[in-house]
Amino acid sequence: MSRRRTAKKRTIVEDPIYNSILVSMMINRILLKGKKSLAQRIFYEAMKNIQTISQQDPLEVLKKAITNVTPIIEVKARRVGGATYQVPIEVKSDRGNSLALRFIIKSARNRPGKDMITKLGTEILDAYNNTGSSVKKKEEIHKTAEANKAFTTIRF
């Protein structure tokens, strides 16, 4: 991390099918070993499955799922006088979206099953319905922040 200046925020190009930055962020998080075409195929097939199962617009389902998984508050370690405290801080919107995407993809990868297409589709639907392990992860973070509410006076 450079001490001279802050890094510039890169602009993300919208995906060609849904014209959404959120979709391209999701595809980039699915990406493994540089195989973007495979990540796109996995995501678009999962969206088709969501369309057939829920009979709704899959982009709206994805947006609602991400808002359900986005944490509002998180804890950060802060060292004061030799002791490390977990200080609760509010999450900015960009970081919240990034965390939500990470939670959804990680819990989809950990799901039992064969192919990533069905695992990702069911995880997005579970997040849409406020169930699933990605929503549990968000609630776990909120509980940790609630437990450490006493340390809010310690600032960065």
Distance CA 70, CA 93 (A): 9
Q: Mean pLDDT of all residues in the chain?
A: 92
The pLDDT of 126-147, averaged and rounded, is 94
Q: Return the ∠ at Cα 65 (arms to 67 and 34), rounded to 5°.
A: 100
**pLDDT value at residue 80:** 86
**Hey, how many other C-beta atoms are within 10 angstroms of the C-beta on 104?**
28
pLDDT band at 71 (very low <50, low <70, confident <90, very high): very high
13-58 pLDDT, tens digit each: 999 999 999 999 999 999 999 999 999 999 999 999 999 999 999 9
The CATH number given to 21-153 is 1.10.455.10
* Residue 17 Rama label (left phi>0; alpha psi -120 to 50; beta): alpha
Q: Taking the alpha carbons of 84, 86, 90, 91 in that order, is the dihedral positive or negative? A: positive
**Hey, how many other C-beta atoms are within 10 angstroms of the C-beta on 110?**
11
pLDDT band at 129 (very low <50, low <70, confident <90, very high): very high
Core vs surface per residue 25-54: b (16+ CB within 10 A) or e: bbbebbbeeeeeeebbebbbbbbebbeeeb
**pLDDT value at residue 156:** 66
